[in-house]
Amino acid sequence: MFAFAPLDGAVGVAATVLDALATAVAPLAGTAATAAAVVLFTIAVRLLITPLTWAQVRGERRRAELAPQIRELQRRYSKDRARLQQEMVTLYRDAGASPVAGCLPGLLQVPFFVVMYHLFTAAGSDDGGAGMLAERLAGVPLGHHVADGLGGAAGPLFGVLLVLLLVLAWWTSRRMRRDAAVAAAAQQPGGTEMPGAAVLTRILPLLPYGTVLAALVLPLAAVLYLVTTTAWTALERAVLRRPQAAVATT
């Protein structure tokens, strides 16, 4: 049992939900029912935070609409960087367009991921984790780690999942860099960016590759969660941001 009671309860609820999902899909998924349940659970989590994702996209569009006002502020306060930064912060705040708002959907996934991680690394059977660790996908236990060995089916299975994560990370990073370039192009050459914007522009495109590193130390069940949620994020980025990209290029 976990010392932190709310986490203990959340793990128990997650185990119950996963067990119900696995039972429901067992006639179709067979021995991979629990793995399929992890994927379905992940999709359910992403659906729950979809309204926040929509709000994130709307915020990005608001920031794009502010480009003319930003250029005007840069022209007006070109010799007073402190005043320029203050005015830009005020502009973003009044428009309800926070530069960090895009992080919210990702941050809200953290509690769900923590619960899933504890569930599939639980040593005791009273929280349901031990039983699920014994379930398999392609003959590999869901509690299997890369460090446990890559013999048999584990090597090809983890290889496929890691390649998927790497491709998704590359694609997401590429889109993030392109979005950053579009945002930079909207500013007047030599203009001042929002405080910390330059650092974020360099760091954010590297973050997607963290999923690949995480997959090297997480159990198979958690890797399935990562692959599913990363693929969902990539799909959202391709679909929801397409109109914004079209407008930016006209």
103-156 pLDDT, tens digit per residue, is 556 666 678 778 877 777 664 444 455 567 778 899 999 889 999 999 999 999
11-47 pLDDT, tens digit per residue, is 888 888 888 999 999 999 988 999 999 999 999 988 8
Please, where are the H alpha helices in the chain? 5-29, 33-48, 50-65, 67-76, 81-95, 104-119, 129-133, 154-185, 197-203, 210-215, 220-240, 242-248
The pLDDT mean for the chain works out to 77
The predicted model gives 58-73 an average pLDDT of 74
For residue 19, which amino acid is it?
D
Q: Where are the domains of the chain?
A: 5-248
- Model pTM greater than 0.85? no
